[in-house]
Amino acid sequence: MTDQPELPGGERPRDTAVVVNLSEYRQSRDPVPVTFHRRELDAILRIYGRMVGEGEWKDYAIDHLKDRAVFSVFKRSGEMPLFRIEKNPKLANKQGAYSVLNTHGTILKRGHELPQVLKVFDKVLKLID
């Protein structure tokens, strides 16, 4: 029993203190950004290391946004990224959470599994006569 009257509909007056879990409140205000997991980063960095060894790529950047994680690859650090490897969990049940985009934003490959999507960077061996 409280000293204050109840409002219609069983609501409490505004000046009543309510205990709120701080971690739940923070998660509702600022959702945790989407990140790459260790195995995903291992697969991406394996491709990156190979391409750096071949002299194709020089720099990279990782962005963890609210709706997606992006691994950008650069030829030179001051330019637009050559490729972007994106993880978008909202598309996981539709077209696949992973995609590779080129400089112009064209999707080169999209899928549900990162290793399959990263095969876009595998070069086909050609027989030279």
pTM: 0.71
Domain ranges of the chain: 38-121
Sole residue written with tokens 């095969």: 119
Q: Give the residue-averaged pLDDT of 109-123.
A: 90
Query: How far is the C-alpha of 60 from the C-alpha of 82, rounded, in Å?
Result: 10
- Bridge pairing between strands 59-64 and 83-87: unpaired
The reported pLDDT for the residue numbered 13 is: 59
pLDDT band, very low/low/confident/very high, at 22 (cuts 50, 70, 90): confident
Query: How far is the C-alpha of 129 from the C-alpha of 120, rounded, in Å?
Result: 26
Contacts of 18 (CB under 8 A, 6+ apart): 12
Q: Give the residue-averaged pLDDT of 58-85.
A: 89
Question: Per DSSP, what are the bridge partners of residue 70?
Answer: 63, 86
Question: Per DSSP, what are the bridge partners of residue 84?
Answer: 72, 101
Tell whether the model's pLDDT for residue 115 goes beyond 60: yes
Tally the residues of the chain. Answer: 129
pLDDT band, very low/low/confident/very high, at 24 (cuts 50, 70, 90): confident
pLDDT band, very low/low/confident/very high, at 27 (cuts 50, 70, 90): low
